[in-house]
Structure 1
Amino acid sequence: MLIVAVAFLIFLLMGMPVAFAIGISGVLFFLQHPELPPTIPIQLTITQTQNFALLAVPLFIMAGNFMNKSGITEQLLNLAAVLTGRMKGGLAQVSIAMAALMGGVSGSCIADAAMQTRMLGAEMMKRGFSKGYAAAVLSFGSLLTPIIPPGIGFILYGTVGQVSIGRLFAAGFVPAFLLWAAMAITITITAKKRGYLPERKKAPSPGEVFEALRGGIWALLFPVFLLLGLRMGVFTPSEIGAFAVVYAVAVGLVIYRRLHRAAIGEALEGSLADVGAVMFLIALSGIFGYGIVFERVPELISSAILGVTDNLHGVLALIVVFILIAGCFVDGTVLIIMLTPIFLPLVRELDGDPVHFGLIFIIAATIGNFTPPVGSAMYAVCSILRCPVGAYTRESVPFFIAVTAVTLLLIFLPDVVLFVPNLIFGAY
């Protein structure tokens, strides 16, 4: 398995697409074991795509694309500006607020980071923000997106680890607001030193707040409807993905009336590309995952960690540190698919809550999208702003420290994560 892991890293450093790096390195494992039937890699690839629960992934991706084309993004931008425009940092604060509001719409941190950069990046430059600072804010702000329903990471983790997706959805709300607060405080401190002014000179009137809320209410109600549907047993996780698509189309056609033929075509085209990339990655991960199980890698890693400490909090902290380091080299989606079967059994062995661990795991894995050398969201933002990665890296350090501190804090405060799931679905 060592040769497979080394080959995987070499392929990544060569710039090979992640899905091919996983698939080809996984095939190397079977070349090392000629006693295994050569048809297994093909069977594994097909089997990975036959999981009914994974149907929620393409449906939520499609719903997010329809919501983005419906005109709801502009309404949320207006709401974010009204709510946070008076805070120090101006558009930086607006960006973080919008990321929190957009979490229930896009579900993808990379899509959210790219979209916000196109909307706010140029305006931030005009207001005197440095490219590196603007890129860091726009990139790290999208961390909120995958942990507010319907985050795709929750669906992947819940499917692979057999964990309630409804409880995972509910677990994201409180941590999301803690992360929002941490980044807002970081912006306030850094903006004060740099002299970045508020976007608005006076507080909004009650009428302005009401109008902004009315415009964005359909996006704000989206995750609420998802959780209610799951809690009341109206939908399964896969069925609620279909409801999300119907909801997004209805909002675009009836409420905002912005979802015309061209927008529908663009949404379908974008969904096709996104779904193809994610499902191809999931399919080829089955080849790689077979070798992990065959070589008993989960047991070996569990033994190594337990050799350091058998305290649940200590183990979770070690896992988070490992994921943060791995996230510098491997995409967050890949980490969720590959490492869930390794770490989740260990957490369960120590009587840890799989929902609590899942939330921490997904935050830590998502942070990898914002760190060099392979951060997908980082490159999306830097390419749009034409920002050097070095400048981005220097400016992102305060935000990395802030979100890592919140992640480590959540390890020792499981009730903060589990409060909403227990309130909605009941305690275990």
Structure 2
Amino acid sequence: MLTLYIFGVLIFFLLINVPVVVAIGLTSVIFFIGLGDARLLAMLPHRMYYGTTGFTLLAIPFFILAGNLMNTGGITDRIFRFARAMVGHISGGIGQVNIVASVIFSGMSGSAVADAAGLGQIEHKAMVDQGYDPADSATLVAASSVIGPVIPPSIPFVLYGSITSVSVARLFLAGFIPGILMSIGMMVALGILAKRRNYPRDEHKATIRERFSAFNGAFWPLMAPVIIVGGIMTGFFTPTEASVVVCVYAALLGFYYKDLKLKAIPDIVYKSISQSVSLLFIIAAANFFGWLIIHQKIPDAVISTLVSFGATQSIVMWIIIGIVLTMGLFLEGNAIFLITLPLFMPIATMFQIDLVNFGVVMTLLIMIGNLTPPVGMCLFAVDSFAKVGMPALARRVWPYLLMIFLITLLIAFVPGIALFLPNLLMGPM
């Protein structure tokens, strides 16, 4: 019952529009006082500080900075032109270009919102200019942006690894195949919709020479994920150090292409700091909330209940999927990680769920949350420039949501798919 009370109070605060960080912190304080452990509030500053000092977490502000540098430095234009040369002629046309460009861009930013707000503006304009309905265009931009945090580098994977001590390198590798499957699923969904709605496509199929020219123009941006993953796999740098490398690389490309100006750097840095502080503040408060969960031995109580009812690994996975999808309606994805993982990790371990695959499944689930109103962060990010309204986006996003959900179920119940690359390149755990 205590579990229901704690999460009930937290959800109540969220429903009355209390800011996430305040809701998390206030819930923790209320229950420590209510349970007669007010003296433990003296640990609040220590737990909040401790929650944000992990070495792995250093990657988050640098990946955010890298995404902002790329959005400003004109790299997104080159990626888009290359994707258009490759798939602009197939059913769905410029929409398929949108998906492929998001796959490429995901290898650099690691953030769905960064993809939606940066590359998304270019994609949306191009689709509308070619005849797409603005609401259809905006929906596809939002849907394709959630590929970003699944294909490495990935801010959610960094966050998951910092909380659970699971290898971030293994998580990065485990995200490749699910991310590609997501993109294929979206392309199939778009192809079906394109025929029904008569979406336009490029009449001219790019020649080999034109494709080579587009590839040449996008070569250095395309090398970013190769450098990141290659450097991690060879041991040349850690995932955290990779975030710094990609920042430097993005800045150098921006200056090389003469699209990034020195006078723009302060604004980019300030924007990145603001975004990082917002996330890290939530992490700090959630660390204290997680301590409440552990201190009250809530995971042990939940495990005992599940065992007493004869729950199996599959049933536990279905329960977790249902909980996270429900929370995704009300909470931002990173907050879901921080709130639920202290509860879920002991349960996953008890029922022998692979923690690397579990990280991929959790990330896929919060990506679904990014596309579900009323708190769909990617929908809001896209509507900020598309101006088509949330109801229109919510009505049109379901075919892509269905595809992502099916891929999530496949990864959840066939873990060998996500674990193939980490086991092949790094050996079984």
Query: TM-score, normalising length from structure 1?
Result: 0.94
Between stretches 366-375 and 230-239, larger displacement belongs to 230-239
* Identical columns (%): 33
Q: Does 1:185 align with 2:209?
A: no
The separation in 1 between residues aligned to 2:165 and 2:232, in whole angstroms, is 16
Instruction: Flag the 1:186–1:418 CA change in 2: closer, same or farther, 3 A.
Output: same
Q: Residues 233-273 of structure 1, C-alpha deviation per residue, up to 9 Å, x if partnerless?
A: 2222322222222222222223x232221232232122111
- Please, which moves more after superposition, 160-169 or 370-379? 370-379
**Where does residue 44 of structure 1 map in the other structure?**
47
Q: More displaced, 354-363 or 46-55?
A: 46-55
| Equivalent position of 1:268 in the other structure | 269
Provide, for residues 192-245 of structure 1, a one-character-per-residue CA deviation record: whole Å limited to 9, x for no partner: 1111121x1132111111122222222322222222222222222322222222
* 8 Å CA contact retained: 2:10, 2:27: yes
Structure 1 range deviating more: 156-165 or 122-131? 122-131
Q: Secondary structure of the equivalent of 1:39? A: helix
> How far, CA to CA, are the matches of 2:10 and 2:315 in structure 1?
29
Residue aligning to 1:115: 118
> Aligned-pair distance for 1:151?
0.7
- Over 3 Å counting, the alpha-carbon distance change for 1:303 and 1:273 in structure 2 is same
Partner of residue 223, structure 2: 221
AA of the residue aligned to 1:329: F
Distance 1:272 1:73, change over 3 A: same
Please report how far the alpha carbon of residue 276 of structure 1 lies from its aligned counterpart in structure 2 after TM superposition. 0.9
What amino acid is aligned across from residue 160 of structure 2 in structure 1? Y
Q: 1:282: which partner in 2? A: 283
The change in CA–CA distance for 1:309 and 1:148 in structure 2 (over 3 A counts) is: farther
1:388 maps to a residue whose letter is G
TM-fit CA distance, 1:102: 0.9
The one of 47, 60, 77 aligned to 1:74: 77
Aligned residue number for residue 239 of structure 1: 241
Q: Distance in 1 between matches of 2:200 and 2:367?
A: 30
Q: 1:335 to 1:135 in 2, by over 3 A?
A: same
Residues 300 and 80 of structure 1: is their aligned pair in 2 closer, same or farther, counting only changes over 3 Å? farther
Q: After alignment, is 173-182 or 333-342 more displaced?
A: 333-342
Give the Å deviation of 1:97: 1.2
Give the superposition deviation at 1:307.
5.2
Q: Which residue of 1 aligns with 2:93?
A: 90
Residue 61 of structure 2 contacts residue 276 of structure 2 at CA under 8 Å; is this kept in 1?
yes
Q: Aligned pair count? A: 426
Q: Deviations over 1:123-161 (max 9, x none)?
A: 433444334322321111111000111110000001101
Equivalent residue number for residue 366 of structure 1: 367
Correspondence for 1:420: 421
Post-superposition CA distance 1:378-405 (Å, at most 9, x none): 1222232222322222211111111101
Whichever residue aligns with residue 428 of structure 2, its letter is A
1:381 aligns with 2:370: no
Structure 1 residues 16-25 or 135-144, which shifts more? Answer: 16-25
Give runs of aligned pairs for residues 238-257 of structure 1, distance below 5 A: 238-254=240-256, 256-257=257-258
1:17 matches 2:41? no
CA RMSD of the aligned region, Å? 1.9
Change (3 A) 1:314 1:207: farther
Query: In structure 2, what is the Cα distance between the partners aligned to 1:155 and 1:271?
Result: 17
1:304 to partner: Cα distance:
4.2
Unaligned 5+ segments in structure 2 are: none
Maintained 8 Å contact 2:108/2:246: no
Residue 149 (structure 2) pairs with residue 146 (structure 1): yes
- Greater shift after overlay, 103-112 or 218-227? 218-227
Residues 177/320 of structure 1: CA separation in 2 closer, same or farther (3 Å cut): same
Cα distance in structure 1, aligned partners of 2:420 and 2:126: 39
Displacement of 1:408 after TM fit? 0.5
- 8 Å CA contact retained: 1:117, 1:384: no
| Shift, 1:189, TM fit | 0.4
Aligned residue for 2:28, secondary structure, equals: helix
Shift of 1:409: 1.2
* Cα 1:305/1:89, change in 2 over 3 Å: farther
Between stretches 188-197 and 10-19, larger displacement belongs to 10-19
Q: Distance in 2 between matches of 1:307 and 1:208?
A: 64
Residues 338 and 401 (structure 1 numbering): CA distance in 2 closer, same or farther, change over 3 Å? same
Using the TM superposition, give the Cα deviation of residue 77 of structure 1 relative to its aligned residue in structure 2, in angstroms.
0.7
Counterpart in 1 of 2:7?
A: 5
**Higher mean C-alpha deviation, range 203-212 or range 237-246:** 237-246
- Greater displacement, 56-65 / 403-412: 56-65
Q: Which runs of 5+ in 1 are unaligned?
A: none
Give the conservation status (yes or no) of the 8 Å contact 2:332–2:370. yes
Decide whether aligned partners of structure 1 residues 307 and 326 sit closer, same or farther in structure 2, where only a CA change above 3 A counts.
farther
1:237/1:80 CA distance change after superposition, 3 Å: same
AA matched with 1:279: L
State the distance in 2 between where 1:306 and 1:248 align. Answer: 50
Q: What is the one-letter code of the residue matched to 2:211?
A: V
| Mapped contact 2:169–2:232 kept (Cα < 8 A) | yes
Structure-2 separation of matches of 1:75 and 1:13: 42
